[in-house]
Each structure stands twice: as structure tokens, then as C-alpha cells.
Amino acid sequence: MPTTTSIGAEIRRANDMFESGFERGDAAAIAALYTPDGSVLPTGMEPIQGVAGVQAFWQGAIDMGVKKVKLKTREVEELQDTAIELGTYTLFGADGQQMDEGKYLVVWKEQEGQWRLHQDIWNTNLPAANQ
């Protein structure tokens, strides 16, 4: 099913809040965008589930120097109270220098009239560092 205006607009609004949370360094605001049992699925790590874990993960990213995130939705498929978003991301440091870029897939759930991130996985487009 193609992107519908309402779900696409709701996800864009939530993504705007995600981006502004990074600009403020507010991991709690970012974590509040997830379902209570939501998960982040970072590369090289076990899944991290629940608001406290998600907040700690994003706080770690902020502490490592991520100061700005740009999210671009490429496609949204809505399935009743679930939506699947495919998009791209770019991460920036304090000096505005690009730190990473890649793609992501988010499973969204509608809960109490709000669309929230439920499962969030991404991976970089950059080559692995030589080891």
C-alpha cells in the first residue's frame, strides 16, 4: 500500500521530534517516541528493549558526539495499527561534520492515537574500518 497522507504526516512529525531531541541532547524525549516495549537493534549489539534501555542507548550516542540527525522517509506501508517505514539517515557531529549515513527500517505501532517507534534497525552505508 502506498504512503497515505495521514500516516506519512504522523511519521514525519515523530521524526521531526526525534531530530529535535538530538539537537537538544534530550535522550528522554527521543525514548518517549518509542512504545513502552520498543526496541533498538544496533549493529554489533544485542537488541535493547524498553524505554530506559532505549534512552540509555541514545544518551550514549549523544555522549559520543552525535549532535544532529537527519531522517528521510522513502516509503511507508500501513497495516491497520502497524506501519513499516523505510528511510535514510545522516548523523552529524558538533561541528556539522557528517559522522555516518545509512538506511533504516522502523516498525511503528499506533497506541492511544499516537504512532510510536516499536522496532528500529539501521545500518551504515560507510565501509567497515580497516582492522
Tens digits of pLDDT across the chain (131 residues): 444 458 999 999 999 999 999 999 999 999 999 999 999 999 999 999 999 999 999 999 999 999 999 999 999 999 999 999 999 999 999 899 999 999 999 999 999 889 999 999 999 999 887 54
pTM: 0.91
Q: What's residue 5's pLDDT? A: 52
Q: What's residue 20's pLDDT? A: 98
CA separation for the pair 84, 105 (Å, rounded): 7
CA separation for the pair 98, 76 (Å, rounded): 26
Q: Is residue 74 exposed (0-12), middle (13-18) or buried (19+ Cβ within 10 Å)?
A: exposed
Q: Is residue 40 exposed (0-12), middle (13-18) or buried (19+ Cβ within 10 Å)?
A: buried
Count of C-beta atoms within a 10 Å radius of residue 41: 16
Q: Which domains does the chain have, with CATH numbers?
A: 5-124 (3.10.450.50)
